[in-house]
Amino acid sequence: MAKDVHKVYVFFLIAAGLLSALVIGIHGAGYYSTPLGDRPFHPQYSLLKPTGLLGLGYGIIGSTMITVGVILYSSRKRWRVMAGVGRIKNWLEFHIFLCLLGPMLVVYHTTFKFGGLVAVSFWSMAAVVLSGVIGRYFYVQIPKGIHGNELSSEDLVIENERIGEALRKQAGLDADLLKLIDSTALPSRPVAEMGLMEVVSFFIVNDLTRRSHLKALFEKLERRGVQAQMIARIRVMASRRIMLTRRIAFLQQFKRIFHYWHVVHLPFSIVMFVILSVHVGVAIAFGYTWIF
């Protein structure tokens, strides 16, 4: 998928998700904000209640989106026949879209009323969504090739050396300036001694403060009379080098963290789907149908 096409694809997913949630929320705002005891007398009650035409539809569509999102992404990762079908990054983005919008529709289905078995299912779903967002952050820290395969530390070192050579020869950066860039990417203490929260907080803080840390570098280049166009190129290469340097240093830690994340994410997912199946089975047994 070309870069510009990918941007349109991501924008479409974000826009579709936000617009859907917003339209549904605005349409039912009056009903959802009505006290539970007064809802049966609300004009939209028969439409938006959990067994109503729209209310039940939100639940069915939302649950289907979650199920399809999980099945498609898992199949792309595990089935050899699908190994060459698109980039796994794009599949992950579609999986995130379905598994964020789907739970939101399920929340509208519940009309923000949680109790009994539904409450267990809802909080399991919330835990899956939250752990999925965290897992996405960990996932992107593990570098991958164009087909989604994990890159080795040797691949990263080669790429980092190529960028360093470009910064030296094309941009004219000396050893001190390169050292300034690399020091921005690494923590003050040995990586092997850092705990999980230290690693995560370092990455977050480093992302937020990267621009200010590199300010001294760009001020030196400006004093040397380097043109703005070249500084812009150096900024891009320096950011790429910082990212690669960090990933080389933290590669094994993030692989281990991502492995432990699966241990947490999977049980919540299983509980969610088991209770969802029970909920759907009970609803069908009691004769609740939609437009079928």
d(C-alpha 279, C-alpha 80), whole Å:
33
Of residues 16 and 189, more confidence is placed in 16
pLDDT of residue 150: 53
The partner residues of 91 in beta bridges, in order of sequence, read none
pLDDT in tens, 153-167: 676 777 778 887 877
At 232-244, the pLDDT tens digits run 777 778 778 877 7
Give φ, ψ of 110 to 5 degrees.
-75, -10
Long-range contact set of residues 134-137: C-beta below 8 Å, sequence gap at least 24: 134/261, 135/258, 135/261, 135/262, 135/265, 136/92, 136/96, 137/200
Tokens 């050899």, located at residue: 80
Assess whether pLDDT exceeds 70 at residue 54.
yes
pLDDT value at 148 more than 50: no
pLDDT at residue 161 in the model: 80
Question: For position 146, what pLDDT does the model report?
Answer: 41
The first and second tokens of residue 227, run together, are 């043109």
What value does the mean pLDDT of the chain take?
78
Supply the pTM of this predicted model: 0.66
* pLDDT value of residue 292: 57
Looking at residue 145, what is its pLDDT?
A: 47
Lowest mean pLDDT among 12-16, 231-235, 263-267, 274-278: 263-267
Residue 1 pLDDT > 60, yes or no?
no
- pLDDT for the residue 141: 66
Q: Is the pLDDT of residue 248 over 80?
A: no
Structure tokens at 171: 């941009």
Sequence-ordered alpha helix ranges (H) in 148-227 = 153-169, 175-185, 196-213, 215-223
Q: What does each C-alpha distance from 284 to 125, 287, 289 come to in angstroms?
A: 21, 5, 7
Task: Say how many C-beta atoms besides its own lie within 10 A of residue 77's C-beta.
Answer: 14
C-alpha 62/C-alpha 202 separation (Å) is 36
> Would you say 194 and 253 are in contact if contact means Cβ atoms under 8 Å apart?
yes
CA 275/CA 281 separation, integer angstroms: 10
> Sorting pLDDT into bands at 50, 70 and 90, what band is 151?
low
pLDDT tier for residue 83 given thresholds of 50, 70 and 90: low
pLDDT given at position 144:
55
pLDDT in tens, 279-290: 788 878 877 777
What pLDDT is attached to residue 118? 66
Residues ≥6 apart with Cβ < 8 Å to 226: 172, 234
147 band by pLDDT with thresholds 50, 70 and 90? very low
Residue 110's pLDDT band (boundaries 50, 70, 90)? Answer: confident
Query: What's the CA gap between 190 and 173, in Å, rounded?
Result: 27
Percentage of the chain exceeding pLDDT 90: 14
CB of 134 closer than 8 Å to CB of 264: no
* Overall average pLDDT of the 184-196 stretch: 76
Quote the Cα angle for 188-193-197, to 5°.
85
pLDDT at 270: 81
